[in-house]
Amino acid sequence: MQNLHNETLAVHAGSRKDDAFGAINEPIYMTSNYRIPTDGTPVDWSGTHSNIYARNRNVNQMILQDKLCALTGAEDCAVFASGVAALTGVFIPFLNSGDHAVVSEVCYSATNLLFREYLPKKYNIEVTFVDGTDTEAVRKAIRPNTKLIHIETPGNPTTGIADIETIAKIAHDAGALLSVDATFAGPICIKPLSLGADLEIHSMTKYINGHGDSLGGCVLGRTELLEKVKDIAMVNFGGVLSPFNTWIITRGLKTLPLRMAQHSKVALAVARFLESCPAVRFVWYPGLESHPQHERAKKMMHGQYSGMISFDIIGDEKAHEKFLDSLKLVTHAVSLGDIESLIVYYDKTSDKLPHYPEIYREGFFRFSIGLENEEDLIEDLTQAMKNAGVL
C-alpha cells in the first residue's frame, strides 16, 4: 500500500477480509477472550503479538492501528480509550523518577496538570515549561537529564506552530525523545513523524473520529518505542479502547482526508472574513499570512491548515455572551474536530490565560470549524455580531 494516496489508504488500509461470511464491513469483535492454542505452543500472557485477551490485542484495534500507520508512515501504533490515556501512554513509559521533561506552555489542560502537579509530585519528574514556538527557548531548557520534549502543534487553543524538525534535532542531540500532540491538525494536515518526531499523539475524539460520538486516543512511532507503550501503558495501565468504539472511530477515519480538505477550505474563508471584520480584535489561523508562524505552517502543512481558529471580538463581557447566545449554526461547547462547528469562550477569569501569548489574556474564542458551507457560517457570525451590538 506504499504508493497509494491518503483518500485510498483511509478507505482500504488495514481492512481484514471476513472469510466466514464475506461481509464488506469489518465485524465488531465483541469478545474479551480469544481461544489459545492447545498444541503446546508457549503462551505469553502479557504479550501483544497474539490474540489472547482484548487488553493485550484485539482484532478491531489491529484494523484501526494499521490504517493509522498507513496514513502517517508510522511503523506501529497503539490506540487508547481517550486522548489523555494516549498522552499518559507516552509520559509513563518514557519518563522515570529523576528525569527532566521540556513541555510547551500552550498545551491541553490534562497535559498541563500532569506536568505541573502529578508527575513532579508523585513521580519526582522535573519539568520546564517553555514557549514551544520559540525554538531557542526549547534549546535553552535542555538539561543533562532531559529525556522527553513534549510539544503541541498546532497548540490548543492558540494554534501556535512549533518547528518540529529543529526541535527533533535538539531532542536527539540531547539523547531525548520528541513527542508531538498533533490533535489540532489530525494526521493529514501535519506529519510530525516525517519531520523527525519520535512519537505522534492524537486525541481521536477530535478529527480522526470526527463525528463527536466516541472518545479515543492513539500513539504512533517506531516499533521499538511502541513495544514499550503497549507493554506498559496498554497491558499494564489498561486504558484500552473498546472494540465498539474502535469500530466507530475506524468508520470515521475512512473519510478523514475528505473532511480535512473541507475543514481547511471553510476555515480559511472564515478566518479571512474575521480578519477583515471591524468587530474582531484579533484572529490566529495558521493559513493566514498574518499568523505569527505562518511561514513555518506553510512548510509543514502543505496548504491544508485544519479547522481550528482562535479570535476575539471587540466589546465587553456582555457583548461576548450575547454574541455566543445569538449564534444559530455554531454551538457553544468544548471538544473540536466535529462535523458541526463548535465554539468555546475563554473568559477573563480563565486560569489558563497566563500561559498564553499576551493578546489572548483579555479572553478569546476557540472556534472549531465544521463541515458547513463557509457562506452560511459567515452569515451566522455576522448576524450574531450585529445582535451583540459589535458590528
Closer Cβ to ligand PLP, 61 or 205, answer by number = 205
Given the complex with ligand PLP, which of 63 and 87 has the nearer CB atom? 87
Cell output for 99 = 528525569
CB of 160 or CB of 315, closer to ligand PLP: 160
45 in Cβ contact with 160 (< 8 Å): no
Applying CB under 6 A, the site for ligand PLP has a residue count of 14
Instruction: Return the C-alpha cell found at 246.
Output: 474502535
CB of 254 to ligand PLP, least distance (A): 20
CB of 154 to ligand PLP, least distance (A): 9
Residues 162-221 within binding reach of ligand PLP (CB under 6 A): 181, 183-184, 203, 205-206, 215, 217
Alpha helices in 302-371 (DSSP H): 317-326
Please state the closest distance from residue 214 (CB atom) to ligand PLP, in A.
9
- Measuring CA to CA, how many Å separate 283 from each of 38, 153, 156, 255, 357? 63, 17, 14, 29, 13
- CB nearer to ligand PLP: give 199 or 280: 199
Contacts of 152 (CB under 8 A, 6+ apart): 104, 106, 107, 108, 111, 132, 162, 180, 181, 182, 183, 184
9: which 3 cell numbers? Answer: 489508504
Residues numbered 137-166 forming contacts with ligand PLP, rule: CB under 6 A: 152, 156
Using CB positions, name the residue nearest to ligand PLP.
Answer: 83
Specify the residue, 126 or 152, whose C-beta has the smaller distance to ligand PLP.
Answer: 152
* Site map (CB under 6 A) of ligand PLP, residues 100-129, x = contact: --------x---------------------
Helix ranges, the chain (H): 6-12, 59-72, 83-94, 109-113, 119-123, 135-141, 164-173, 186-189, 223-228, 243-253, 256-276, 294-301, 317-326, 374-387
- Minimum gap (Å) between residue 133 Cβ and ligand PLP: 15
Distance in Å, CB of 310 to ligand PLP, minimum: 13
Euclidean distance between CA atoms 257 and 9, whole angstroms: 10
Is residue 17 exposed (0-12), middle (13-18) or buried (19+ Cβ within 10 Å)?
A: exposed
> CB-wise, 67 or 206, nearer to ligand PLP?
206
| Min separation Cβ 165 and ligand PLP, Å | 20
CA distance readout (Å), 229 to 164, 202, 335: 22, 14, 25
Of 88, 21, 27, 90, which is closest to residue 58 (Cα–Cα)? Answer: 27
The nearest distance, CB 317 to ligand PLP, in angstroms, is 25
Helix (H, G, I), strand (E, B) or coil at 290: coil
Beta-carbon-side half-sphere exposure of residue 20 (alpha carbons within 13 Å)? 3
CB of 82 to ligand PLP, least distance (A): 3
Binding status of residue 246 toward ligand PLP by CB under 6 A: no
Helix (H, G, I), strand (E, B) or coil at 252: helix
Q: Mention every residue, 6+ apart, whose C-beta is less than 8 A from residue 300.
A: 153, 161, 164, 190, 191, 195
- Least distance CB 95 / ligand PLP (angstroms): 17
Contact 132, 155 (CB under 8 A): yes
Of the pair 184, 273, the CB lying nearest ligand PLP is at 184
Shortest Cβ 246–ligand PLP spacing (Å): 14
Evaluate whether 199 touches 185 at the Cβ level (below 8 Å): no
Q: Which is nearer to ligand PLP, 26 or 152 (CB)?
A: 152
Contact 220, 199 (CB under 8 A): yes
* Residue closer to ligand PLP, measured from CB, 266 or 342: 342
Which CB atom, from 70 or from 219, has the smaller least distance to ligand PLP?
Answer: 219
Binding letters toward ligand PLP, positions 59-98, x by CB under 6 A: -----------------------xxx--------------
The binding site for ligand PLP (CB under 6 A) comprises: 82-84, 108, 152, 156, 181, 183-184, 203, 205-206, 215, 217
